[in-house]
């Protein structure tokens, strides 16, 4: 197996048949392999998350990140499109599911796909990764510190969040194993919210594996931010490698 | 965390963006992860004119301390304006 992959901006099917922009890393040999849909965080389709797509390419997966704000401002600079999406109130859940479905379809259509597809998301994308795994036929999902999978956004003092819903009603439909990576110092999701999610997944008989890192808060994978915690990030990447290796191999 | 909190202010004025000056119609304010600033969270302001496209935007990402000082300076400046001018 070669380690060569091609990273490039591509067009993929999105929600309701719309064509959207995406960033992909595609292995350049015929060896069958799994695919990974990468869900970017709320600030948008950015360089840091493209680096994560390339990392999955280097790990031997085909990977793709849909530009979730493309619908709001097709062709605009990614940060301008994110600002436009933000002004409209964010990414609707239904649209997110449609875009991830299109990304999974793109990965499965690649000639060297083994038909297995996983999803991973960071921050808001962590919640969206769980949402996708509860809504679509996927083979593995990773939630990196996604807030409001559990918990009550409307209870936040001063700024109740009424347009983001927790996923209580969707969790019984989780249809693949879930890896959760959390910072013990994070406020959202708090350790209590993570514990509640663990209890619910146990109750529903779901397969999951959670790790919470002491001394790490939110966004500990982000290498260009003060929140970066190298030990948590290194261990997290090992967990991801092992989890996807187990569930996305043929 | 991504706060999801966005305040919107109807806006009259002008801003200078990548293509030069343009009229502003809307401002969004939110506290969230920045694109560029070296902080985990910043107070972000987008001065926009959506009718001219998503690129018609003047963006700033400010630390919380800077944003509070700026807000105070704006109010103090306006309060100091002689009656009948503003």
Q: Please state, in angstroms and as integers, the Cα–Cα distance from residue B60 to each residue in B20, B34, B42, following that order.
A: 16, 9, 9
Cα Rg of chain B (Å, integer): 14
B71-81 confidence digits (pLDDT tens): 999 999 999 99
Within 3-42 of B, beta carbons closer than 8 Å to A belong to: 3-6, 8, 26, 28, 30, 32-35, 38-40
As a whole-number percent, the residues of chain A with pLDDT over 90 amount to: 88
For B55, the closest chain A residue by CA position comes to A80
DSSP letter string, A22-44: EEEEEESSS--EEEEEEEP-TT-
Mean pLDDT in residue range A241-249:
98
Distance between CA atoms of residues A44 and A112, nearest Å: 29
Pairing of strands A140-144, A113-122: parallel
Question: What confidence tens digit (pLDDT) does each residue in A185-243 have?
Answer: 999 899 999 999 999 999 999 999 999 999 999 999 999 889 999 999 999 999 999 99
Q: How is chain A split into domains, by residue range?
A: 5-247
User: Rounded CA gap, A98 and A94, in Å?
Assistant: 6
Tell me the Cα Rg of chain A: 17
Task: Answer yes or no: is pLDDT of B27 > 90.
Answer: yes
- B55 half-sphere exposure, CB direction, 13 A CA radius: 7
Is cis: bond before A109, omega within 30 of 0? no
Estimate to the nearest angstrom the gap between the alpha carbon of B85 and the chain centroid.
Answer: 23
The 10 Å Cβ neighbour count of residue B86 is: 9
Q: Establish whether this prediction's ipTM goes over 0.90.
A: no
Q: pLDDT band at A89, cuts 50/70/90?
A: confident
Which of A168-172, A223-227, B56-60 is predicted with the least confidence, judged by mean pLDDT?
A223-227
Contact at CB, A161 and B53, closer than 8 angstroms? no
Residue A160: band (very low, low, confident or very high) from pLDDT cuts 50, 70, 90: very low
Q: Measured in whole angstroms, how far is the alpha carbon of residue A234 from the centre of its chain?
A: 18
Comparison of pLDDT for A165 and A153, the residue scoring more: A165
pTM of the shown model: 0.90
The residue among A87, A152, A228 with the most chain B CBs within 10 A of its CB, best to mutate, is: A87
Nearest by CB: A187 against B1, B28, B53: B1
Question: Phi, psi at residue B83, to the nearest 5°?
Answer: -55, 140
- The residue-averaged pLDDT of A69-90 equals 92
Q: Quick one: how far is CA A112 from the chain centroid?
A: 22
Residues whose CB falls within 8 Å of the CB of residue A59, separated by 6 or more in sequence, listed in order? A241, A244
- Whether the per-residue pLDDT at B2 is higher than 70: the answer is no
A82 → chain B, closest CA residue? B54
Quote the mean pLDDT of chain A.
Answer: 94
**Percent of chain A residues past pLDDT 70, beyond the cut:** 96
**pLDDT-above-90 percentage for chain B:** 76
DSSP conformation class of B72: H
pLDDT in tens, A20-61: 999 999 999 999 999 999 999 988 899 999 999 999 999 999
Q: Residue B46: which of A43, A83, A189 has the nearest Cβ?
A: A83
Judge: B1–A188 Cβ closer than 8 Å, yes or no.
yes
Task: Please say whether the dihedral angle defined by the alpha carbons of residues A38, A200, A182 and A208, taken in this order, is positive or negative.
Answer: negative
Test B53 with A76 for CB contact under 8 angstroms: yes
Residue A187's nearest CA partner among A137, A224, A131, A147 is A147
Determine the Cα–Cα distance for residues A69 and A82; give it in Å rounded to an integer.
Answer: 6
Report the distance separating Cα A110 and Cα A114, nearest Å.
Answer: 9
- Rounded to an integer, the average pLDDT of B30-59 is 93
Q: Looking at the domain covering A5-247, what would its CATH class be?
A: alpha beta
CA distances from A30 to A2, A53, A243, A247 (A): 9, 20, 23, 20
**A86: distance to nearest CA of chain B, Å?**
7
pLDDT at A159: 52
Phi, psi of A139 (to 5 degrees): -105, -20
Q: If you count them, how many residues does chain A have?
A: 250
């Amino acid at each position: 197996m070669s380690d060569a992959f091609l990273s490039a901006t591509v067009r993929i099917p999105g929600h309701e048949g719309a064509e959207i922009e995406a960033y992909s890393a595609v292995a350049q040999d015929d060896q069958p392999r799994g695919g990974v849909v990468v869900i970017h965080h709320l600030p948008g389709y950015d360089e840091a998350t493209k680096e994560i797509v390339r990392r999955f390419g280097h790990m031997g997966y085909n990977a793709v990140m849909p530009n979730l704000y493309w619908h709001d401002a097709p062709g605009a600079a990614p940060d301008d499109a994110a600002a436009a999406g933000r002004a409209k109130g964010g990414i609707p859940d239904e649209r997110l599911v449609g875009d991830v479905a299109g990304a999974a379809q793109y990965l499965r259509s690649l000639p060297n796909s083994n038909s297995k597809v996983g999803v991973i998301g960071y921050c808001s994308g962590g919640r969206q990764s769980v949402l996708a795994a509860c809504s679509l036929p996927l083979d593995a999902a990773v939630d990196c510190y996604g807030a409001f999978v559990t918990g009550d956004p409307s209870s936040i003092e001063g700024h109740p969040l009424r347009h983001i819903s927790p996923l209580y009603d969707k969790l019984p439909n989780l249809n693949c194993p879930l890896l959760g990576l959390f910072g013990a110092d994070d406020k959202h999701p708090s350790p209590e919210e993570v514990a509640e999610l663990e209890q619910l997944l146990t109750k529903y008989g779901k397969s999951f594996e959670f790790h919470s890192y002491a001394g790490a808060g939110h966004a500990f994978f982000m290498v260009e931010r003060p929140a970066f915690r190298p030990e948590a990030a290194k261990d997290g990447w090992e967990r991801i490698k092992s989890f996807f290796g187990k569930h996305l191999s043929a | 965390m991504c706060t999801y909190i966005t305040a919107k202010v109807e806006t009259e004025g002008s801003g200078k963006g990548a293509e030069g000056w343009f009229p502003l119609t809307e401002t969004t304010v939110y506290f969230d992860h920045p694109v560029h600033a070296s902080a985990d969270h910043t107070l972000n302001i987008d001065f926009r004119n959506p009718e001219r496209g998503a690129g018609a935007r003047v963006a700033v990402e400010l630390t919380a301390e800077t944003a509070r000082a700026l807000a105070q300076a704006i109010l103090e400046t306006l309060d100091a304006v002689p009656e009948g001018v503003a």
